[in-house]
A = this chain, B = another copy of it.
Amino acid sequence: MRAVDVIIHKRDGRELTAEEIDFLVRGIASGEIPDYQIAAWAMAVLWRGMTIRETVRLATSMALSGEQLDLEKWAPGAVDKHSTGGVGDKTTLVVGPIVAACRIPVVKMSGRGLGISGGTIDKWESIPGFRTGLSREEILRQVKEIGLVACGQTAELAPADGRLYALRDVTGTVPSLPLIAASIMSKKLATGARSIVLDVKAGSGAFMETVADASTLARWMVRIGQGAGRRTIALVSGMFQPLGFAVGNALEVREAIETLRGAGPRDFREHCLTVAAAMLQIGGRVPDARMGRALAAEKLDSRDALAKFRALVRAQGGDERACDDLSLLPAAPCRGDLAAEKSGYLAEAHAGKIGLASVRLGAGRAKKGDTIDPAVGIVLKVKVGDKVKKGDPLCEIHAASPEALAQARNELRDAFRIAHEKVKPLPLFYKTIRR
């Protein structure tokens, strides 16, 4: 088999065979196929698309291209959850403890933030002392002891995906739905979880800007998961405004702890209950989502989930006193509000722009390797649909310096829009995709 023939088949709109895809993925992983052939193939995929059969094979083959974690052996019945990323998305910090409190093991491997998408690893690390770089043995011990682990990737999962993604990034071949879906799912498949809940975001703060695009991506991912023999469902949720109020690492941890204490923003609590319900259902703990939601709410209200969170922080070297005393979390030296310029109803809190302002404050990375400031960020005071009076704070800015504060205030003005007429609150979820 020759790589150029595989490219030509795709260029001519043919469905690639399983053997062709395996050949390609092996060549990508081993470096035997040169970058230029991979790049030409990726552009041909953008042009011609891929069938679901090709996409399942690509994801599976990439999952098999490197080390695999047999999560099912380590933690039988474990449920994995993946969010496509967004602004203020601290869901994992709350649903992990809820689900683990229901005796379903959760080993959540997360990444670092890049661009406006925050990274869960960065959020965990804003808790003083919290370690995310665990060895296989530590993960194994901890999941047995408390049923909950929050860590970075231990191994190079799906290395073929890593090389392919790096190439797509510099060849204009990122925006292919099958390639995006296969890329995400290859890493999920490599972790070995038998049940996967996908939280696919749609909006200005997400990779997919429309509900239609997010739904299509979700459908691709569900088909890949199911095609690879995993129980998989996807929730399509809104990312037109940030999730909850807080955007920024320690600020988000604070909001997660408040939520675990039974308070927290209503939308965020509701989001967590829905995601947790899906995890409990797919993990076989409850027969349907309604009962999952009730069980999740009970674990929040009983503080069982908070206890699990506390056990996790302790197990990973973090200062568990932060669960009781939020002042132990990093705090920014400069704070100031952005005031509403007129009265009315909040019509927009543009997640993309708020995310960008947060990155500029230092809460995120413009490029890989940038250092971040765990303390800084933005806390919304209102959400879309809320009544606003002129002069009221729209958000509070947490900055490292007065200059950064002033700059953020300036940038953020453009992120909010106030309307005269009543505005409906935004939906939290748009749809559930089961196949």
Interface residues, chain A, CB within 8 Å of chain B?
3-5, 7-8, 11, 34-40, 42-44, 46-47, 167, 170-173
Contacts and interface: CB of A to CB of B under 8 A. Distances in A.
Contacts of A38: 36
Contact of A37 (B4, B8, B171): B171
B37 A40 contact: no
Nearest to A34: B35
A40 B46 CA distance: 10
A6 to B, nearest CB: 9
Contact of A11 (B3, B34, B40, B43): B43
Q: Report how many copies the assembly holds.
A: 2
Given A35-B39, A36-B170, A43-B44, 17 more contacts: A4-B171, A4-B172, A7-B43, A7-B171, A11-B46, A34-B35, A34-B36, A35-B35, A35-B36, A36-B171, A37-B170, A39-B43, A40-B172, A40-B173, A43-B43, A46-B47, A47-B47
A34 B46 CA distance: 20
A172 B11 contact: yes
A38 B172 CA distance: 11
A45 to B, nearest CB: 10
B39 A37 contact: yes
A172 B44 contact: yes
Contacts of A36: 34-36, 38-39, 167, 170-171
Contacts of A40: 39-40, 42-43, 171-173
Contacts of A35: 34-36, 39
A164 to B, nearest CB: 11
A34 B167 CA distance: 11
Q: Which among A8, A34, A47, A171 has the highest number of chain B CB atoms within 10 Å?
A: A171
26 contacts: A3-B170, A5-B172, A7-B43, A8-B172, A11-B43, A11-B173, A34-B35, A35-B36, A35-B39, A36-B36, A36-B39, A36-B167, A36-B171, A37-B39, A37-B171, A39-B43, A39-B171, A40-B40, A40-B43, A40-B171, A40-B172, A40-B173, A43-B47, A44-B172, A46-B47, A47-B47
A367 B170 CA distance: 33
A7 B47 CA distance: 13
A120 B293 CA distance: 80
A141 to B, nearest CB: 43
Contacts of A46: 11, 47
